[in-house]
Structure 1
């Protein structure tokens, strides 16, 4: 069940929405639909980029992390941060691309202005920041 801190949309207040993710790769469809619904107001190109970041970070947590997992969208008027928690203490790191994957964090890097992770004794949070101030061109 999503938890939400509501503020007036499109101002400089921070809006945080979280989704708990079950331990099942089928959850990716639910995560995508959830994020897509929340980001409907974005121009199509920005929404596609943001959804790709959400999808890649959530997929990495499901494939390589351990439960419990949570996906959060933190948003202000011209800024979006995607954060994904899991309880695996191994750091997220790009791996060589192959037919089996290895493209996720490279895509996240290309679609965001920055990405990184916070290590905690009980796991990690992988995050990416997206600039929403740019216009389609």
Structure 2
């Protein structure tokens, strides 16, 4: 698994960790300092979430997009995204090296809706401050369908 110390790797590298004893699967992606990375991050996450019903993936990708957008617009490099998941649950974590707290701002023509959108889609979200920056995270659940159910 990649740690914060490994951020010196080239941008857009991805590590896929083995499932741990508690069956949480972790996927890690380092993100370059470019807004164009958003489409690549979304594509990476869609591949990682192929087994989740599309109606749930839409919200998950929207939350991921807002977290990464905020890190790219308001944070500083290096940046890293982690998807932590087990059946029915996903935690999205985005690190950046800016120590300023992520905080909502009033909506305007230029933005200010991201954290409100995250709050409306996620069960819970928050942030952790650490010596090298912060981690902003959100947790979501996916609907569990009985085995054999047909999902559009």
Q: TM-score range by the shorter chain?
A: over 0.9
Is the Cα contact below 8 Å between 1:79 and 1:133 reproduced in 2? no
Matches within 5 A, 1:98-137: 98-133=108-143
Structure possessing the higher radius of gyration over alpha carbons: 2
Per the TM alignment, residue 41 of structure 1 is displaced from its structure 2 partner at its CA by 1.2
Q: Please, what TM-score do these two structures have when normalized by structure 2? A: 0.83
Matched, 1:28 2:16: no
Match of 1:2 among 8, 11, 14: 14
Let me know the Cα RMSD of the aligned residues. 1.7
Report what 1:85 is aligned to.
Answer: 95
CA distance in 2, matches of 1:134, 1:54: 21
Structure 1 residue ranges without an equivalent (≥5)? none
Matched, 1:52 2:62: yes
Post-superposition CA distance 1:44-75 (Å, at most 9, x none): 11000000011000000000000000000000
Post-superposition CA distance 1:59-102 (Å, at most 9, x none): 00000000000000000011100000000000001110011001
Greater relative contact order (Cα 8 A, min sep 6): structure 1 or 2?
1
Q: How many residues align?
A: 134
Structure 2 residue ranges without an equivalent (≥5)? 1-12, 146-150
Q: Please, what TM-score do these two structures have when normalized by structure 1? A: 0.92
